[in-house]
Structure 1
Amino acid sequence: MTEAKQKRQAEIPAAESEALREQRDRFLAFAFAASDLLLEIGDDSLVRYALGATNQLIGGSPQDLIGTGWLELFAPEDRPVLVAKIGKLTSGKRCGPILVTIVPGRRLAKAADSKARKLSSRGIKVIFNACRIPGREEVVYCTITVANAALAKQARAAAARTESGLLERKAFESAAIETLETTKALGQDVELTFIEFIDAELFRDRVGVDRWQAFCADAGAVMRDGAIDNDAAGAITEDRFGIVHEAGAAVGTEIRRQLQDLAQAFDPAGGGLDVEQATIEAGDGELTSEEAAQALVYAINKVASLGASKLTFSDLSGSFQEQVSETQERIAAFKAVVAENKFDFAFQPIVDLESREISHFEALARFAKGESPYQTIVFAEEVGLIQDFDLASSRRAITYLSQQSAGSPVKLAVNLSGQSLQNDAFVDALMALGKENSGLAGRLMFEATESSRIHDLDRVSRVFQALKQMGFSMCLDDFGAGAASFQYLRALEVDYVKIDGTYTRRLLSSDRDSLLIRNLCELCRDLKIKTIAEMIELEDQVTELSSLGVHMGQGYLLGKPAPQPVFSRPGGSRSRR
């Protein structure tokens, strides 16, 4: 072979390689033309590759993202949607656009940059798109773009809607907030009207299902037509709605009249439907954008819980002031609850799925009649009081166990928020409490809840290790299949994990969830960690969970929360201790 021929053949692969690089660069350029961040996610749910405006979005370099769980980037409420979308994504297909919020979390918690800390507190609205390509099905390619009005509108076009064509509540909240910001920038005055159908169930029964559905479709059209744009109307509940519209000319009153006329036309008896309406000025006065958004969501929540006619303010400033006043009152009331121990426990058993013997009880907080435990705990976390409550709960559980007779079989699990576990004062007090009551170590365990709030895993790991050295068992609550959960498991030494109840609910109809639980159980078995499944309500669920390797369960089938621990014995007899 001549030297010239060898040279030409050597040049061919080089030319092909150059062409591939050129094609790659072209694709990257196209992607960046419409995106701020590119991610490559592996089948282990970890970020393999990142490129783009990471400093703007997460307060760090692209390299900081490599090897981390991709879901950690996003707000907890957005994660289930993203997991579902990615789970259904097949080769050659794409999903999106999806409007979500990036919450940088622990990566920004360590940042010295004040701008980064500010981003961490409020999050960033972004548009998420993803795809899988043939030949590389194990990888998901994602683009993330900071949302602007046009992109957000595009994402909402694909958002969940009711049968009436109205945006569902969460999407409506986002749309309404964005509309307020846009109209404020344009100097345009708008109002927010809330509509409520009174005794809608009676009307539905009277007109029949088909006519009711037709009425809802037409009513949705009336509300969208009255809104400032097609996306500024949404359903808050099944019979309560919100509309952002131009100010003046009694727009809200006209929408109400049209809906009443429409209902009368659909009613064979001619009685129609009573429609309540409340209109507030959306001008936010001296409120910041964040305060106006809070005031808007507060107003929507009020309508959802009380109805349109129960609003006591006429504008967003009034809504914000009422929210502030209500929050201050709730803070004072909650502090009194903690200081005076005005809460109780309801004891729900954790049961061995094979023997049906009770392992221990979870001590669930209960407050004054009518107060939601979940909402109360969430509020305490939001206002920074959860550590006070967690400490009071721990003391209450220790007092309860200390008062039990010698040889009592009662063992308790007490919940500790991830937020509390990162509070130095709380940790110091908890350690002192543990040392003073080390004799109860075999009968008291601690259950870490709200793990998504744990940003400093190393710090919390040291707390877990110290408690375990005293003899207390540790449990990780709400464990899922995402990469974030496995990172917690890798960093935190625990004795138990609680599998999120959503997996139990879908277990009998989802092969994918069965496989996820089986793999989780195998991992936990190798790590000598016992597994607990939540929300068990059916014997078929017990059978399936046992076959997958789950050790224990919790749920109404196995025992409801009760004022005192209730033991089930073989043969069905029950005794209280």
Structure 2
Amino acid sequence: MLRLLWLSMLYLLGAWFAGVLILAPDEVTLFWPASGVAYAAVLRYGPRWSLFVVIPILVNHALFAPVPLPFLPYSVGSNIVAALAGYLVSHAVSGNPTRLSVRSGFGLTCGAVAMSGTSGLIGSLGLLATGMTEASDFGHAFARWTMGDLLGIICVAPTMLYLTHTGPSETAPRLDGQDARREKALWLACAIASAGIFYIAGTYSGLYSLGLVSLPLALLLWSAVRFEVLWTLVGTGIAVLVITSITALGIGAFRSPQDPFDVALLLAFMCLFANVPLMLAASIAEQRAATRRALLRAVTDSATGLPNRSAFEEALQRLAARSGIEAGLLYLDLDHLSLINDTVGSAAGDALIQGAGSLLRATVDRNDEVFRIGGDEFALLLRGSHAHVLGSAERVLGAIEDYRVGWQGQALNATASIGLVTFVGGHGDHTHLLSQADTACFTAKELGGNRICIANQEPGELQERTAAMRWAVRIREALDRGLFELDCQSIQPLDGDDGQGRHFELLLRMRDPVTGQRLAPGDFIPAAERFQLGVQLDRHVIELALGWLEARPAAAAEVHLCAINLTAASMVDEGFQRYVVDRVQRSSVPARNLCFEITETSAVRDLARAQALITQLRALGCAFALDDFGTGFCSFNYLRTLDVDYFKIDGSFVRNLQDSPLSTAVVRSITDIAHVLRKKTIAEQVEDQDTIVMLRALGVDMAQGYGLHRPEPLEQYFARDYVTRAR
């Protein structure tokens, strides 16, 4: 009802204004803006809305423009039938003429021509049939009626369609801020000045004023290029209204045209005057819309529909720069998503990620932002105090834990590790905040996941948390630049047999890319394992060792046992297993001279895969040693499963051998069990001769430590003869 009321009022207002421009009772108005109202109504709301014109037409003829009663059906019919004709033609040409584009503008124009032509024909026939015009004036009436409708449609319909659009904004200002306001103020000043010049010149000669029409046209083209579409639509309507009114009313030197050709020429010019800026504005708006869509695709994650990492970094930078605003950054990583991908399939993992994205968006406040920044990683920017942000983080953590995704009869779920940092805008760098949140998230994941870790703003703690990350960068650089080196430490028999050849363990050293210092494994191996670089290091060590021995057959012939350490990640990496088996098979170094050392904790992590690797390499002739043996609570339970050749007794027992009866009992027990299983034992961290004597008395087979031999570079180790018998 409300829509019918305001449409009727607009139509009636347009009809009244058109009547004002009629100077004689037998004239047809030069400008019929009511046709634009009817055209916009049927395009926006559907063909049935063409009927709303009945009441305002009857009211108009009753109050403002009296006509003979027989003419009323022609007047009503011309508007209704014409509106339907315009609707059908516009949709046939462009499909959806209400969209802001060049194609829809062309469809809108074709429909306007069809509507005005239909209205002009029916209306002119009505004038002729009711005796309101002579047959000789039929062409004049038709031209004036048709062009007046067309001009009214072009000036009014686009603006109405734009203002009644209820979806997302189809365009945006080309300018923003203080500069936009200044330029628009300048435009308005120029528009007022041009109107004044147009009027003053018109008082002297219509020819001069007609030439000055280029001034408002230039202003409208300026608006189409620089301002939002609505600015151009309104400006065009006002300009046409003013020029048409001055012409129709004969103000100044202007005279209302009487000849049909003059009428047609004037109205055609005015239609062109109105249409050019609108088509230019539509073209520019369409290009801008295409650019925005391309930009949106560039900053949107296709899987979840959330903004991606590029959008996140820009948003974080803007928020961190806003002085005084309290906010928080959540760095969220889904826990153990790889298990779902491995067991159910990557499609299930993708479904869980998509669901998690939607869940996060629904969980946080409307003003908060959610981004997908990686495979299973999300970032959230939350507004509010520390307490508010922490409460939101706890709510997000609980929502993720409770969330379930149905997949092929299964209920998939995941937990999350969240790193949280709160900040006040204008007091920190966005890259620093991101580093803190990332580090806190990594810490939460290392602590078992399904928890929130709050980043501490203190530089000392941040440095401690990011130290491992810096080590990872240094390790990658050392791998790329070939800065890893091998040392050897002798493993000496305690049974007096010195004729077997060299027994030694390879120890990895890293040449620091910055200082050039040689670093021990304890400095970088923890970081390598933490950041999944263990497999790369193990491959590199094997290549270095085998490559060096293959290039020196004489040195390789002296080797009886070369021990190479493997990290925990390599034990369960199928790619590494294939690599090491292939590399040993291709090597000229006999497999029987190679021994791979694995720790007890890494072996029991995945007993099946560890035993598979051991079985494959033992089939080639390689030996295995169980390193740090005795530190686990259930070490003996795994001895039957892990088919190793050597037990390396952990140094914590060996160092205390002389002072601790418990250490003595542990070493004796390990040695006895090893001999029962036909294995050999190696004591680590042997520091003095007294310990060697005790180890020999306990039956330990071999010893290794600074008391026997300090590690030295590979080439230096093979450059000298070594006595392999412990004293």
Identify the TM-score tier after normalising by the shorter chain: 0.3 to 0.5
Of Structure 1 and Structure 2, the greater helix share is in 2
Give the structure-1-normalised TM-score.
0.44
Of Structure 1 and Structure 2, the greater strand share is in 1
Q: Which has the larger radius of gyration?
A: 2
Give the structure-2-normalised TM-score.
0.36
Larger RCO of the pair (alpha carbons < 8 Å, separation 6+): 1
